[in-house]
Amino acid sequence: MRRCLQLLGVISLVVSANSAYAQDKQEKPTSEDQDKVEQPMLDSMRSGIHSTVSSTAAWLDSFFTDKVNPEDYEDVYGSFSIRPEWDEYDGWEVDSSFRARVILPHAERRFSAIIGRGDFDDFINDQQTTRPTVIQRDDSDEEWMVGLGFDPMIDKQHKLSFGAGLRDGINADPYVRARYRFDSIINDRSELHWQTVGFWRDSDGFGIAQTIEHDFVLSENWFNKFWIRGTFAERTEGVRWHASEKIYYLYGYERALGAELWWYGETEAEVPLQDYGIRGLHRSRFLRDWLYLESWIGLHYPREHLNESREPRWLVGVELEMLFGN
């Protein structure tokens, strides 16, 4: 909960400062104009985040050019999410994440500025949405990360990118990564995605992560997604792996019911299979076109130590995700 409040506090302060600065630059509006300018809190917060990220990108891009036009930095996209969950094994927990990316036009549009908070593995793989929400994360990895990305090759099937930056706040833990992604359309209903990431960070040394995803359209309303990722690094006990099998029933526009099986563990850990489970979920748009609400209930079977028995544990949670940008 403390981490979540800190994140909301930082975003609120930045948005407030940005809004205050904009108001100082403008004349005081009339009461009629004020009615037109005022926005609901959700819309105001989203606009403020977008504006702040754009301003930060303009400042970074100023190192590549003498003149900066703020309108050139509208190519912003990202997400902010908050996830309260009750787990019979761990109790109550509130997780949160934030990620934004901005293309830098004066750096030949191949460079981008990236800022985020969340799990390091998700950050360098750029696959936040593939990992099941219920997979537990190491608290030590829940840190702010900032960096620059460089994309020398992007086409319909192949994407090669490099990145470098800092994580862990004032401890300034540097990292570098190289990522290659291959997308293949097998047929009209099936797609295969292959991604390899090599990385290094000062606190953990070298590592490599391999992800395989398979998307399959069963029918007009049914969709299946399977993915598996293995990560090996100096900080892991053998190979850390995650796997997930999801099936969705699309019953309306941006509305879906789903079921998921997942497994994860580390090959040389005290207990190699640390958890597996099943959950039912519902995802839909909520209040706005860019706001999504997901809820779930399920059972899982965690076991972290040899002296504990593996028993079924209930879990219930929700996730509110805000998308912003283009």
pTM: 0.76
Q: Please give the pLDDT value at position 106.
A: 67
Token digits for 23?
Answer: 């108001």
Residue of 70 and 261 predicted with greater confidence: 261
Statement: residue 24 has pLDDT above 60: no
Give the rounded percent of residues in the chain with a pLDDT score beyond 70. Answer: 79
Mean pLDDT on 56-80: 75
Q: Please give the pLDDT value at position 246.
A: 96
* Range in 128-142, 169-183, 288-302 with the lowest mean pLDDT: 128-142
Question: Residue 319's closest CA among 261, 268, 279?
Answer: 279
Of the pLDDT bands very low, low, confident and very high (cuts 50, 70, 90), residue 141 is low
Q: Please give the pLDDT value at position 31.
A: 42
pLDDT digits (tens, 9 = 90+) for 254-265: 999 999 999 999
Interatomic CA distance for residues 223 and 249, integer angstroms: 7
User: Over the chain, what is the mean pLDDT?
Assistant: 80
| CA dihedral of 134, 136, 141, 142, whole degrees rounded to 10 | 50
Residue-range definition of the domain harbouring residue 305: 2-325
Statement: residue 96 has pLDDT above 90: no
* Number of CB atoms found within 10 A of residue 307's CB: 7
Q: Please give the pLDDT value at position 19.
A: 41
Contacts of 27 (CB under 8 A, 6+ apart): none
List the CATH number of the domain containing 129: 2.40.160.40
Q: Please give the pLDDT value at position 207.
A: 93
Statement: residue 62 has pLDDT above 70: yes
pLDDT digits (tens, 9 = 90+) for 35-45: 444 568 888 88
Statement: residue 56 has pLDDT above 80: no
Q: How many domains does the chain have?
A: 1
* Range in 134-138, 141-145, 261-265, 319-323 with the lowest mean pLDDT: 134-138
